[in-house]
Amino acid sequence: MTALKGILLRRIAATGPISIADYMTECLLHPEHGYYTTRDPLGAGGDFTTAPEISQMFGELMGLALAQAWLDQGAPAPFILAEPGPGRGTLMADMLRATARVPGFHDAARLHLVEASPALRAAQAARLPEATWHDRLDQVPDDLPFFLVANEFFDALPIRQFVRDGVGWRERVVGREEDRLVLGLTAPVPLAELEPRLGDTRDGDMVETSPALPALAGEIGGRIARNGGAALIVDYGGRGTTGDSFQAVRGHEKVDPLSDPGQADLTAHVDFDALARAAHPAACAGPVPQGVFLERLGITARAQALAARLNGAALDAHVAAHRRLTHPEEMGDLFKVAALHPRTAPPPPGTET
């Protein structure tokens, strides 16, 4: 039994079942035993991979799209370039390489990273020594135009799950049966927050909420509306939530989220409609499928230019990476790109709905 499982079993015995959100928070961010606090999950022999780790083209095109939004707003200098959950720093490093020839962009950028994992902060510092780190996004200075990218960050935010029962809702919780963690349901209660969902669900349907999303998206949207700027947010999910999207991945395989707490990555779909609502008064463009976004930005031409310098296994890997990022049966449809921007400025290219 993992140390974290013991801690959770004792906590549940003492104070009762916990929400999926509390379970996710403990598993991902427990200071000693959390999944992100103790490791680099993207490294060699890691558990999952992400778009920037698959190909440099992803970060290059994200960088050019964000730099175009900066140019469209009159190239404000200085400005904040922020990234929550930067992983190994690959996305930002590729963005910075691709934007090196955008006049003034690098000189004006103040790089701020938000990262909960000491292991990943170390990996980021090796690639981005000029950055300033923060524990939370609201600690980033709030006095400059605010340009942000986030890839697979919002899907790590804790979710709560509710099953409809008449006009009430039963919350899905993690309880214990002897030495096992088990899923259970609370008694049904009406919930004001979920009243709008009575219109589009039936008895037995599950809906998910993300308690941390409104404050976080509100922080980003508020800064962009007040100070200027733009955000490019990439994640798997869609508009609204339907059904159970809570999942655990370990060693590139889906596993039971309750089996080894702290040893697997836990995620859920991002509700882009909730994100857009919370980001008001900033405007939201998209979400558009990742494949569409990358094609609009010219990934095929970029892929061909890179391919001209490759052969053999490296060329095969490059072709496979292009397909993986864009093909509807791979990441092209499941992942979506949304942009936040001031109502007075155009959205970053590629995100027009």
260-289: contacts with ligand SAH (CB under 6 A): none
Question: Which residues from 151-190 bind ligand SAH, rule CB under 6 A?
Answer: 151-153, 156
Stretch of 145-153, 180-188, 196-204, 280-288 lying at the interface with ligand SAH (CB under 6 A): 145-153
Counting residues that bind ligand SAH (by CB under 6 A) gives 20
For residues 265 and 87, give the distance between their C-alpha atoms in angstroms, rounded to a whole number: 13
Give Cα separations from 293 to 229, 328, 339 (angstroms): 19, 12, 11
Q: Indicate which single residue of 55, 117, 209, 290 sits in contact with ligand SAH (rule: CB under 6 A).
A: 117
94 binds ligand SAH per the rule CB under 6 A: no
- Least Cα distance to 3 among 41, 47, 34, 24 occurs for 34
What secondary structure letter does DSSP report for 200?
S
Q: State how far the alpha carbon of 284 is from the alpha carbons of 43, 183, 311, in Å.
A: 33, 36, 41
Among 9, 20, 91, 266, binds ligand SAH (CB under 6 A): 91
Q: Shortest distance, CB of residue 170 to ligand SAH, whole angstroms?
A: 27
- Quick one: which of 72, 77, 158 has its CA closest to 348? 72
Task: Provide the minimum distance between the beta carbon of 42 and ligand SAH in the complex, in angstroms, as a whole number.
Answer: 6
What is d(CA 154, CA 86) in angstroms, rounded to the nearest whole number?
12
Helix (H) or strand (E) holding 112: strand 109-114
* Minimum separation from the CB atom of position 50 to ligand SAH (A): 3
Q: Which is nearer to ligand SAH, 66 or 156 (CB)?
A: 156
Q: Which residues of 247-265 are buried (b: 16+ CB within 10 A; e: fewer)?
A: bbbbeeeebebbebbbbbb
Q: Interacting stretch for ligand SAH, rule CB under 6 A, among 84-92, 180-188, 200-208, 222-230?
A: 84-92
Helix and strand counts by DSSP (H, E) for the chain: 14, 16
Q: By rule CB under 6 A, what string of x and - marks binding of each residue 22-61 to ligand SAH? A: ------x-------x-----x-------x-xx--------
* For ligand SAH, the closer CB: 206 or 234: 234
| Binding residues for ligand SAH (CB under 6 A) | 28, 36, 42, 50, 52-53, 84-87, 91, 114-117, 120, 151-153, 156
